[in-house]
Structure formats: C-alpha cells, structure tokens
Chains A and B, each alone.
Chain A
Amino acid sequence: MSGAADTLLGQDLLSMAQLSKAGVVEVLEVAEAFAEVSRRSVPKVPTLRGRLVTSLFYEESTRTRLSFETAARRLSADVASLAVASSSVKKGESLRDTVETVEALGADVVVVRHQASGAPAQVARWLHHARVVNAGDGWHEHPSQALLDAFSVREAVCAQRGMPSEGSGASVFDGLRVLIVGDVRHSRVARSQVLAYRTLGAHVTLCAPATLLPRDADGWGVDVAPSLDDALGEADVVSLLRLQTERGSVSHVPSPAEYTATHGLTERRAALLKPHALVTHPGPMTRGIEIASSVADAPHALVTRQVANGVVVRMAILFLVLGGEPSLVSVAP
C-alpha cells in the first residue's frame, strides 16, 4: 500500500492511513445512502446477495461484531461467524490454516479482530480472493470505529448548523478541534481516530496521564495538552477512551479513582465544555471512571448515535470493499 487512495472500492480496509481525504469522504457519503435504507420499514437491500461475510474474532467483542454482522445481513449477504473459543483454534490450529479454511469455505470478506497488531495485514497477504476488514488489531488500529465516529460527528455538527450532512464532504472538519482523552497508548481507536480526523482536516489534541501517552506521539502531528481542565474549553469534540484493564492500563496509573480525578469527564469538567461541544465514546463505557454517568446520558453525548451509525458505516465499508475496482474497468467506450 503506497500512498493514500481516493477510494475503498475493491480494497482491504486495514488502516486509516490507506485513505486520502476523498477516500474517507467517500465512505461517509455512501454511509448516508445506507442511513436512508436503515430508516425504511424494511431496512434491507439485495446488494450483496450470495456473498459470504465471515467474522473471525480472536478477541471478545459485542458491538463491533454484532454491528458488522447486522450490516452484512442488511446487505443480504450470508454471514458465517467463527467463535474462536469453540473452534479448532483451541486444538492448536494456526491463524494461517484457519484463514485458508475460511477462504476455502467461500468467504468473500473476512472481518478480523486479533490481539496482535498487524494480524489483519498478515491475513490479507495469505488470502487470494477474499477482502479483509480490520475490526481491531492489538494497539494498532480500529478503522471502522474511527469512520463511524467521524460520521457521527459530521451528522451532529451539520444538525447544529441546520444543514444536511449528505453531500457536506469534509467541510465541518475544517478547523474542528478534537480532544482525545484517556489511554491513548493502548488504544487502537485513538490511532485510527488521529489518522481519520487529521485526514479530514481537524486539529487533534491528546490528553492523558504521561504514562498512558504513546512514546512516539511527537510524530503523530497532534498537540499534547498537559491539563484536561484547560483543554476542555477549546474542544469542539471530546473523544473519551476506556481504561483498558485487559491491556494493562491500570498498572500505568496509581488507581482508577486517581485517573478519574485527573482525566475523568466528571460533571464539574463537563461544565467547562463549550455549549455545542460533542462527546464521543467507542464503548464499552465504564461509567464513573472515564465518564460520569450523567454526562454519558446528556444530549451532547453521541454514544447511542455512534452505535446506530456503526451499522450504516459498516454497510458502506462492506459495500465498498466488495465493489468493483476502478482500475479493472476500462473507461472506453
């Protein structure tokens, strides 16, 4: 993958780095068309009839997996779901053998979540025919989450400004200030968000305890805010991240309560936000730690819109990765 592409058509989705601004906007605009489908009494289209979408989740997940599978069904694709815990993986089958089996069974798309950063890219190298969608790999990336966050932010900002989000391109991101708060170091969501928001033209600031900042943050093209209280008043969008106990976040802070005291979006801090500021959270939320329960349920929190939008954005992703590659089509006649 050299350079950022203007389209996802016929490609794997492994990292947000592979898409240019036009490529990200394409996903958002296709998702708008699927948003219309999702408002119908029968929210289903025949587009991917006969195609097989396989989900291969080596890590637990509720919303991402359910969201991809719902998206596939709404496109009339068949869905095969490999429950790794009850599969031959437990008998010692390698990732490569599992993946080749899945392709031999006729998968057209393999949606992969894996604890190892880079696993989906490796899977893509092994596959001959099927497309790969990265549904989260280690600390590396979670592109579909960043895309649905961007879609939700665009929808909400356009609604505030009284303009339709469809066809608005990347205009609302121009100069938009996004503040990402929490365990950036262990967060694949943060890595994808930084790439997506910056590609769209937004300004990104990170705020985290020093132990939870990535060591290479200097190269990300972002600012780092030392104090959350000071940074909140500047932000148009606050993206909260979960303390990732399964990845050892907790050993990097004195205690969860200490984290809340310095970096939690408490009621007191929520009062520092601009009136129109939006709050996103990829879920699952740990209420009372990174976000106060009352803040999570306030109107500026996009959390439930993010879940609903996750399905239409993932419909767009599956539609695009299974689409015809522009390079394969001759222009004439």
Chain B
Amino acid sequence: MAATEGRRTRPGGAVFRSRTRLLSADDVGRALRRMAHEIVERNSGAADVVLVGLQRGGVPFAEALAANLAAIEGTTVPVGALDVAFYRDDVATRPVLPEASSSIPVDLSGRTVVLVDDVLFTGRTIRAALHALSEFGRPGRVQLAVLVDRGHRELPIRPDFVGKNLPTSLDESLLATLDGVELGTMVAT
C-alpha cells in the first residue's frame, strides 16, 4: 500500500507510470512561495526555523522552501535531511530500505522544526519522522509542510502547510517533484 508513495520501496519492486499531469513546475513554484510566506506568518519570521526534508522526496522541497524563506526574510534557514526507515512500524512486513543517511546540521532543541515531505498519505511516515526527530534534540515545536495531501490518513496527523489537496483513490499513485505533480499507478517491473 505504501508503495503508492512511489519511493521508500526497494528498487526493482515497481515503477511509477504517469497518466495525467496535475501540476506544472510553475504551479509547484507558486505553491512553495505561498507556503514559505505561511511559514513566516505562522512563526513571526524564520529566526528559529529549521527545515527538515524527509529522504528523499521531501529534501528538494525543503531546499526550495529555504530558498524562498531567504528571499522573503533575508535569513539563511538550516536545512536537514531525515531518513525514517529505522523508525517505521512495518519493517518486517514490507521491504523497507533507508533512502539515504540522515543529516541534521544543528541541535534541534528549542527550535521550530518544519518537517517537509512531498506527499502526505497514511501519515505513517510522519509518525516515524516524529520519533526519528527526537534523536536530534527536543524541538520547541514541530510543524508539517507537504506539497500534496492525497488523503487516506490512518493516524491522527494533519499538515500545517499544504501546497495542494489532491483527493485520490487508493489504487492511484502520485509523483511529486519540483518539475510538477503527476497522477498514475505503480506497475511491476
């Protein structure tokens, strides 16, 4: 099921086959600019903010948000990358592999951590991410930014900043990158 997230699945298991393009690169750029403004508004600036992208799909969006925050506020916000594989609750039932190492450049204690991911689906990745974050300090608050919320939550998790709400059916799959958002399906290789 989580294979529909398009990544965090082992190579060779399945590939994404696109059917329709839902957002263009420009649409994604505009959504990220708005989200950056919302982050600044919510936190009265960006002084305490640390952006943490989830490996790998969330990392480019975290970097893009940081660039937008720099343009808006003129401050450089630290950007980290977090891999949640070792914190997932389904490692025994599904092929789970780490995407890449975690890399958190600052102690998160007291900071406002904005978790950034490409697609929010069941919420289980975010649950794992909240657990993983605690290894790097005790954040003052944690917020969640996602480019796409596709629904089908299995846990009480809701995003603070959303690029686009895209209701999907369970047999569909989304691929969200800086180049755009596509709807399709995962097919066996």
Given contacts A319-B91, A322-B92, contact A331 B101 (CB under 8 A): no
Q: How far is the CB of A282 from chain B (nearest CB, A)?
A: 26
Q: Which of B1-22 contact A (CB under 8 A)?
A: 1, 3-4, 10-14
Could you tell me if A36 and B186 are in contact, using CB atoms closer than 8 angstroms?
no
Our pick among A36, A40, A329 for the contact of B3 (Cβ within 8 Å) is A329
Could you tell me if A9 and B10 are in contact, using CB atoms closer than 8 angstroms?
yes
Binds B, one of A41-49, A172-180, A229-237: A41-49
Q: Which of A274-324 contact B (CB under 8 A)?
A: 319, 322-324
In the bound complex, residues from chain B placing their C-beta under 8 Å from that of A35 are 101
Q: Binding site of B, secondary structure by majority: helix, strand, loop or mixed? A: loop
Could you tell me if A331 and B13 are in contact, using CB atoms closer than 8 angstroms?
yes
Question: By CB atoms of chain A within 10 A, which of B14, B87, B101, B188 has the most?
Answer: B101
Given contacts A33-B83, A331-B186, A333-B170, contact A323 B101 (CB under 8 A): no
- Residue A325, interface by CB 8 Å: yes
Could you tell me if B100 and A324 are in contact, using CB atoms closer than 8 angstroms?
no
Given contacts A7-B95, A33-B98, contact A324 B90 (CB under 8 A): yes
Could you tell me if B12 and A6 are in contact, using CB atoms closer than 8 angstroms?
yes
Q: How far is the CB of B120 from chain A (nearest CB, A)?
A: 17
In the bound complex, residues from chain A placing their C-beta under 8 Å from that of B12 are 6-7, 326
Q: Which of A1-53 contact B (CB under 8 A)?
A: 6-7, 9-10, 22, 26, 29-30, 32-33, 35-37, 40, 42, 45-48, 51
In the bound complex, residues from chain B placing their C-beta under 8 Å from that of A37 are 86
Chain A window 62-75, contacts with chain B (Cβ cutoff 8 Å), 1 for yes, 0 for no: 00000000000001
Chain B window 81-98, contacts with chain A (Cβ cutoff 8 Å), 1 for yes, 0 for no: 001011100111111111
Could you tell me if A9 and B171 are in contact, using CB atoms closer than 8 angstroms?
no
Interface size on B, residues (CB 8 A): 36
Q: Tell me the complex Cα distance, A326–B135, Å.
A: 29
Q: Tell me the complex Cα distance, A319–B97, Å.
A: 9
Could you tell me if B102 and A323 are in contact, using CB atoms closer than 8 angstroms?
no
Could you tell me if B101 and A36 are in contact, using CB atoms closer than 8 angstroms?
yes
Q: Binding site of A, secondary structure by majority: helix, strand, loop or mixed? A: loop
Our pick among A22, A48, A166 for the contact of B101 (Cβ within 8 Å) is A166
Q: Tell me the complex Cα distance, A33–B88, Å.
A: 15
In the bound complex, residues from chain A placing their C-beta under 8 Å from that of B186 are 331-333
Q: How far is the CB of B49 from chain A (nearest CB, A)?
A: 23
Chain B window 111-143, contacts with chain A (Cβ cutoff 8 Å), 1 for yes, 0 for no: 000000000000000000001000110000000
Could you tell me if A323 and B95 are in contact, using CB atoms closer than 8 angstroms?
yes
Given contacts A33-B83, A329-B13, A331-B14, contact A324 B91 (CB under 8 A): yes
What are 10 residue pairs bridging A and B, where the CB atoms are less than 8 Å apart in the complex? Answer: A22-B11, A33-B83, A33-B85, A47-B87, A47-B91, A323-B97, A331-B3, A331-B14, A332-B185, A333-B171
- Using a CB–CB distance below 8 Å, which chain A residues touch chain B? 6-7, 9-10, 22, 26, 29-30, 32-33, 35-37, 40, 42, 45-48, 51, 75, 166-167, 319, 322-326, 329, 331-333
Q: Knowing that A36-B103, A45-B86 are A-B contacts, what are 11 other residue pairs whose CB atoms are under 8 Å apart, sorted by A's residue number?
A: A10-B95, A33-B83, A33-B100, A36-B102, A40-B135, A45-B87, A45-B135, A46-B86, A322-B91, A326-B12, A333-B173
